[in-house]
Structure 1
Amino acid sequence: MEDHGPAPPPGPSERPTARRARFRRRPAPSREEARRRLRAFGRFHPTRGQLVAALLTTLLGVALVAQARVTEEAGLQQLRQTELVALLDDVTSRAEALSAEVAELEDDRSRLLGAEGDEAAAEAARERLESYQILAGTVPVEGPGITVLVDDDGGIITQTMLLDGIQELRDAGAEAIQVGPVRVVASSFVRTGPEGEVLLDGEPLSTPYTITAVGDAHTLAGAMAIPGGFSDSLRSAGATVTVVEGATVLIDALHEPSEPRYAQPVPSTQDP
């Protein structure tokens, strides 16, 4: 008998059909089988454990909803009287400021639409130009404010401290700020020089530092007295800080605006 070696593996059509049977789609149940399943489902009787689980889930949902409603309703009730008064004062102040702004805008609109519209428009343009010049630091300004004198012989003040002091004055509503011979504007920056000196817009500052700010003098002085703030940090480190309120302070340092290199105005899409 001739030996032809091991038999080759069966082809796809010769493999057992039992393996392929697993991938066959199950036939749809007959109408009688579907009715039998529906009757079995209608005879479903939950056990005691399932009923208890469903009841606990329902009670938990009700409790969560009730807690959310109580928390929402008790938001103001949990505040102290002083906090409620402060909140009411803040809301009242905002409402008064918005009402004043609305009245001012309505008055401007009436003047612009009236017989003196051209003159009123010119006056509004002049006021806006003056406001922009003050913000840009291109004109000297005067008004009520404070002068902060910092005697720092030990070189305690850092760029971070000076930046914090400027930010505290801005937060308190300072409309113009000058540090030493430098006018502070929106683009001003503070850094440390190669010898450890503090630089404002690249200009070195030296002790005693003089900071002048125009705004509500009482509010600005209060900002300088915040515990842990600019003045408190310097005094704790050994520097001497003196805050003087004045009915009129002068800021005469000017900022030379630079031509922007990257920012360009977006062309107007409105029809001429």
Structure 2
Amino acid sequence: MTKGLSLMAVSLALGLLLTVQFQTQQHLANSLEAQSTNNLVTMWQDLNERKAQLEKEVTNLQANLTELDQQSSLGRSNFETLSKNTARLKMVTGDAPVKGPGVSVTITGESSLLYYDIVDLINELWVSGAEAIAINGQRVTLGTAIGEQPGPNSTTVITVDGKPLLSPYIIEAIGDPAALEKGLTMQGGIIYNLNTLYSIYPEVHQRVLITLPGAGPLSWRYARVRE
């Protein structure tokens, strides 16, 4: 009897222990599972926030890149415009060599040609639309001085910027060849007067391509840019 009660008590205690152990393990498993899920949710939220931050940074970087590209394009455009304007300015001032169609005017042999005849020829070419002119390979610019100085045997010598201009005199001008020739050879014009009054016969020829040298930058002694 006592032995049976003891065996029953042991069995009951063992069953109770197993029940408590099972419940404890189940509770622990549930707790770990819940804790793991919470951690995953937290990690997922953190990743989403980080993703949103990265997407925002990417958007900002793309905007900055677009702005820089636009500024770079604008800078290139401004540089190209400045380069073109500088090139045009150099052509106008005679600083840069130029080429293009035009006419050549040649006066050969001994003649009574005077310096102001050269000036008249050049002025007529300008009026007729010449864009660049040279005399005997020397570029005519805003600062070019055409004059004369005493020569041998009581003669005078035509000068360009103080340098003697030797025969043959060759004036080359870039522009519309037909318009330039018409301006020079029209009835009552400069060449007509040279022919009829002084027996000077310049030869005018249209040219497909004329190359003129640059005169170098102009030097200003008195003029200054107004601020």
Structure 2 partner of 1:131: 88
Q: CA deviation at 1:230?
A: 2.4
- Residue identity opposite 2:216 in structure 1: E
Residue 186 of structure 1 pairs with residue 142 of structure 2: yes
Say what the alpha-carbon RMSD is for the aligned residues. 2.0
TM-score between the two structures when normalised by the length of structure 2: 0.62
Cα deviation 1:154-182 (Å, max 9, x = unaligned): 2x211211111111111111110001132
1:225 aligns with 2:185: yes
Distance 1:265 1:233 in 2: 41
Whether 2:118 is the aligned partner of 1:158: answer no
Distance 1:259 1:213 in 2: 23
Q: Distance in 2 between matches of 1:140 and 1:205?
A: 21
Matched, 1:256 2:216: yes
The Cα offsets for residues 46-69 of structure 1, whole Å up to 9 and x where unpaired, read as: xxxxxxxxxxxxxxxxxxxxxxxx
Does residue 1:244 correspond to 2:205, yes or no? yes
* C-alpha separation in 2, matches of 1:114 and 1:228: 58
Q: Does 1:213 align with 2:166?
A: no
- Cα distance change of structure 1 residues 170 and 213 upon mapping to structure 2, 3 Å threshold: same
Tell me the distance in 2 between the aligned counterparts of 1:216 and 1:246: 10
Q: For the residues of structure 2 that align with 1:194 and 1:266, how far apart are their CA atoms?
A: 40
The residue number in structure 1 matching 2:129 is: 173
Structure 1 CA distance for aligned equivalents of residues 120 and 82 of structure 2:
34
- 1:210, distance to aligned residue in structure 2 (A): 0.5
Letter of the structure 2 residue corresponding to residue 187 of structure 1: G
**Which residue number corresponds to residue 102 of structure 2?**
145
Shift, 1:152, TM fit: 4.1
- Percent identity over the alignment? 25
Post-superposition Cα deviations, 1:66-125, rounded to whole Å, max 9, x if no partner, equal xxxxxxxxxxxxxxxxxxxxxxxxxxxxxxxxxxxxxxxxxxxxxxx9994322221111
Which whole-Å CA distance do the structure 1 matches of 2:116 and 2:91 have between them?
A: 25
| Alignment check: 8 A CA contact 2:130 2:176 kept | yes
Greater relative contact order (Cα 8 A, min sep 6): structure 1 or 2? 2
Unaligned runs of 5+ in 2: 1-69
Q: Which structure shows the bigger proportion of residues in helix conformation?
A: 2
1:197 is the counterpart of 2:157: yes
Bigger-Rg structure (1/2): 2
